[in-house]
Amino acid sequence: MRRSPPGAYNITVTNYRFAPLLAVSSLFLACPARAQELERLAAADLPAVELPAAAQPDRAGVKEWTVLIYVSARNNLGLEAIKDVNEMEAAGSTDRVNVVVEMARIVTKPDFNPFSSVQEPTLPQADWTGSRRFLIKKDADALTITSPVLAHFPDADMGDWRHLAEFIAWGKANYPAKKYLLVVGGHGSGWRGVKPPAGAAKGISYDEPSGNHISPAELAQAIKTGGGVNVYASDACLMQTVEVVYDLKDSAEYVVGSQETTPGSGWNYEVFLKALAANPGDSFSAAQAIMKGFSEFYGAQKKSVTMSIVRPAMAAGLGERMDKFARLVAASPADMKLYHDKKFGLRSFDDEDARDLYQLMKLYFDNSPTPAVRAAAKDVIVFLAEKVVLRNDAVGYKSKDANGLSAYFPIFYMNYKPKYEHLTFSRATYWDEMVKAVVESKK
């Protein structure tokens, strides 16, 4: 498994994409020819590097879709990222779909298997470092990346949102299309990437050499600065939370991601890209193609995974309903006690303090002694089902009661994280005050 940080939740996650505990820095490396863009990104005072000669972008016509894939493997995902790009090449760009990738890595070696006499060999091309941009070309070589390198950044900080914003703008300018789909891959940990004034240790797109990551608010800012996209998707763990989607409410038509950790091989990019090329229709069709390359793919293998498609434009309405619910619960000692009486019956994710929002609301609808609380919980349930979650795939026996969107509600009072209060969602609603009051009532 992968896409979540090693050691973040005191479990063995060598093959997950959990984000590691990292310090925060902000190095942005960019081509000097992009000086005006850097000024627009408020990064003109940061150092730049000369780029070696790169292949010229293909400007031959506007296609239906440009898929922009931004993968930080400057961590322990260096080998998986090479496999991902080779999967992309098995599909390739087509006459209707551009596939443009920035992939950064450090040198990593296969994990040692003490139970096998034959160890996994190191992949070809596994010795390069830095960041490379590719226009993905179809080939039949499953081990070697043959797509042309468009640019090389020796030490780009993949955890700097401004570098992501520049990649989005660059990809859209050089590979114009009617619609755009952005994938950010690497380690992820949902809302925990929030950066309060003192800094924080978790987020998405973790860059081990710089110690940096992209917070939920920075992810939204990168997409906005890059000009927006039609579909945003996280190839990372634990990103499908209310808190993350709330920040993305103005960023895309659809947001695709997982409530849980994701398998070590990540998405099957060949299946996803071939599905998109076969039906390059509207934005929802593109989001459905992602499901084919993940939840449908792993479901056929009898593995347990979660993946959902949500409408971020509905996040403000959801926040209003959660705010009303939170204020009612915080004013009712019986309803605060109800959480502690029933919490162990709620589904547990690998982030033990993430609750499935639908299941949590159903707990209160079924058990609250307060009519107003029951009504508020029902309002959240109906809004989730009818307006927010458009498709939810919870496949496999471990995925029971995952309904598409998670929210923070710690299981023990000592698990409460004050940095939660710095989220956009927390500032806009009473949810954080309610959560804190409920968990501290059990001290």
Q: Summarize pLDDT for 318-342 with one digit per residue, the tens.
A: 999 999 999 999 999 999 999 999 9
Give Dmax over CA atoms of the chain in angstroms. 69
Q: Are residues 249 and 362 in the same domain?
A: no
Question: 124 and 246 share a domain?
Answer: yes
| Residues composing the chain | 443
Closest CA to 111 of 71, 80, 153, 152: 80
Question: Which residues neighbour 142 within 8 Å (Cβ) at sequence distance 6 or greater?
Answer: 86, 90
Is the predicted pLDDT of residue 201 greater than 60, yes or no?
Answer: no
- Confidence class for position 155, pLDDT limits 50, 70, 90: confident
Same domain, 335 and 245: no
Residue finishing a domain among 295, 313, 331: 313
Question: Cβ(408)–Cβ(353) under 8 Å?
Answer: yes
Residue 199 confidence (pLDDT) above 60: no
Range of the domain at 177: 32-313
Residue ending a domain, choose from 283, 313, 343: 313
CA dist 65 and 183 (Å) reads 13
Q: In terms of DSSP bridges, do strands 231-235 and 177-185 run parallel, antiparallel, or are they unpaired?
A: parallel
Whether 200 and 166 map to the same domain: the answer is yes
Smallest CA-to-CA distance from 185 within 17, 319, 309 is with 17
Share of the chain above pLDDT 70, in %: 75
Pair 28, 144: CB distance under 8 Å: no
Pair 383, 259 in one domain: no
Arithmetic mean of pLDDT, 401-417? 94
Same domain, yes or no, for 352 and 255? Answer: no
Confidence of residue 105 (pLDDT cuts 50, 70, 90): confident
Q: Residue 53: pLDDT above 80?
A: no
Whether the pTM exceeds 0.95: the reply is no
Mean pLDDT of 405-425: 93
Least confident of 37-46, 141-150, 220-229: 37-46
Question: Does residue 374 fall inside a structural domain?
Answer: yes
Q: How confident is the model at residue 63 (pLDDT cuts 50, 70, 90)?
A: very high
- Where does the pLDDT of residue 317 fall: very low under 50, low under 70, confident under 90, or very high at 90 and above? very high
pLDDT for 187 beyond 70: no
Q: What is the mean pLDDT of residues 154-178?
A: 93
Same domain, yes or no: 330 and 307: no
So what's the pLDDT on residue 7? 44
Last residue of a domain, one of 313, 343, 358: 313
Task: Look at residue 197 in the predicted model and tell me its pLDDT.
Answer: 56
pLDDT beyond 90 at 79: no
Say what the pLDDT of residue 104 is.
Answer: 81
Q: Please, what is the average pLDDT of the chain?
A: 82
Number of independent structural domains in the chain: 2
C-beta separation of 428 from 327 below 8 A: no
Mean per-residue pLDDT, 99-105: 90
E strand or H helix that includes residue 182: strand 177-185
For 157-167, what is the mean pLDDT? 92
Same-domain check for residues 64 and 168: yes
Judge if 361 and 411 occupy the same domain.
Answer: yes
In angstroms, rounded to a whole number, what is the distance separating the alpha carbons of residues 273 and 87?
9
Q: In this structure, which amino acid lies at residue 302? A: K
**Whether residue 194 is found in the same domain as residue 211:** yes
Quickly state the pLDDT bin for 262 (edges 50, 70, 90): confident
425 three-class SS: helix
Q: Of residues 42 and 294, which shows the higher confidence score?
A: 294
Contact predicate 246/424, CB 8 Å: yes
For residue 10, is pLDDT > 50? no
In this model, does residue 361 exceed pLDDT 60? yes
Selected residue with higher pLDDT from 209 and 275: 275
Q: In the prediction, which pLDDT does 114 show?
A: 60
Higher pLDDT, 283 or 194: 283
Q: Is the pLDDT of residue 225 over 80?
A: yes
Q: How confident is the model at residue 113 (pLDDT cuts 50, 70, 90)?
A: low
Structure tokens at 179: 């619609």
* pLDDT top residue among 118 and 302: 302
